[in-house]
Amino acid sequence: MESTRKFYRQVFTFEILSEEPIGDISLEDANYETMEGNMSGHFLSRIETEHTAKEMADMLCSQGSDPEFFQLNEQGEDTE
Protein backbone atom coordinates (compact mmCIF):
# COMPACT_ATOMS: atom_id res chain seq x y z
CA MET A 1 0.00 0.00 0.00
CA GLU A 2 1.28 3.48 -0.91
CA SER A 3 2.66 5.51 1.95
CA THR A 4 0.29 8.12 3.36
CA ARG A 5 3.17 10.50 4.15
CA LYS A 6 3.28 13.82 2.29
CA PHE A 7 6.35 14.97 0.37
CA TYR A 8 7.33 18.37 -0.94
CA ARG A 9 9.18 19.68 -3.98
CA GLN A 10 10.66 23.16 -4.12
CA VAL A 11 11.91 24.85 -7.26
CA PHE A 12 14.02 27.98 -6.96
CA THR A 13 14.78 30.42 -9.74
CA PHE A 14 18.09 32.16 -9.10
CA GLU A 15 19.38 34.87 -11.41
CA ILE A 16 23.15 35.36 -11.91
CA LEU A 17 24.65 38.36 -13.66
CA SER A 18 28.26 38.07 -14.87
CA GLU A 19 30.72 39.60 -17.30
CA GLU A 20 31.56 36.20 -18.85
CA PRO A 21 29.53 33.08 -19.70
CA ILE A 22 29.52 30.80 -16.67
CA GLY A 23 28.60 27.46 -18.30
CA ASP A 24 27.85 24.62 -15.90
CA ILE A 25 28.18 25.79 -12.32
CA SER A 26 27.43 23.98 -9.08
CA LEU A 27 25.17 25.49 -6.43
CA GLU A 28 28.20 25.74 -4.14
CA ASP A 29 30.18 27.67 -6.75
CA ALA A 30 27.19 29.89 -7.62
CA ASN A 31 26.80 30.73 -3.95
CA TYR A 32 30.48 31.58 -3.57
CA GLU A 33 30.65 33.63 -6.78
CA THR A 34 27.57 35.69 -5.90
CA MET A 35 28.53 36.20 -2.25
CA GLU A 36 32.32 36.59 -2.49
CA GLY A 37 33.26 36.54 -6.16
CA ASN A 38 32.68 38.55 -9.31
CA MET A 39 29.03 37.77 -10.00
CA SER A 40 25.76 39.25 -8.80
CA GLY A 41 22.79 37.07 -7.97
CA HIS A 42 19.46 36.85 -6.22
CA PHE A 43 16.37 34.66 -5.96
CA LEU A 44 13.54 35.51 -8.34
CA SER A 45 10.98 32.95 -7.22
CA ARG A 46 10.26 29.86 -5.13
CA ILE A 47 7.52 27.34 -5.86
CA GLU A 48 6.56 24.62 -3.37
CA THR A 49 4.27 21.73 -4.29
CA GLU A 50 2.94 18.81 -2.24
CA HIS A 51 3.25 15.28 -3.64
CA THR A 52 2.18 11.73 -2.90
CA ALA A 53 4.69 9.05 -2.08
CA LYS A 54 4.39 7.54 -5.59
CA GLU A 55 4.98 10.93 -7.22
CA MET A 56 8.03 11.47 -5.00
CA ALA A 57 9.40 8.02 -5.84
CA ASP A 58 9.02 8.83 -9.56
CA MET A 59 10.71 12.24 -9.13
CA LEU A 60 13.61 10.69 -7.21
CA CYS A 61 14.12 8.14 -9.99
CA SER A 62 13.98 10.92 -12.60
CA GLN A 63 16.81 12.71 -10.75
CA GLY A 64 18.89 9.53 -10.82
CA SER A 65 18.37 9.11 -7.08
CA ASP A 66 16.79 6.19 -5.25
CA PRO A 67 13.35 6.26 -3.58
CA GLU A 68 15.06 4.58 -0.61
CA PHE A 69 16.41 8.07 0.14
CA PHE A 70 12.99 8.67 1.78
CA GLN A 71 12.50 5.01 2.82
CA LEU A 72 10.24 4.32 -0.18
CA ASN A 73 10.25 1.70 -2.91
CA GLU A 74 9.52 2.51 -6.57
CA GLN A 75 5.76 2.04 -5.99
CA GLY A 76 5.77 4.68 -3.23
CA GLU A 77 5.37 2.15 -0.44
CA ASP A 78 7.18 2.56 2.90
CA THR A 79 10.16 0.24 3.22
CA GLU A 80 10.19 0.38 7.03
pTM: 0.78
Residue 58 maps to a domain? yes
Residue 78 maps to a domain? no
Residue 76 maps to a domain? no
How far is the CA of 10 from the CAs of 1, 7, 45, 46, in angstroms? Answer: 26, 10, 10, 7
Q: Residue 12 sits in which domain range?
A: 7-70
Residue 34 maps to a domain? yes
The number of folded domains in the chain is 1
Residue 46 maps to a domain? yes
Residue 77 maps to a domain? no
pLDDT in tens, the chain (80 residues): 999 999 999 999 999 999 999 999 999 999 999 999 999 999 999 999 999 999 999 999 999 999 999 999 999 999 98
Residue 32 maps to a domain? yes
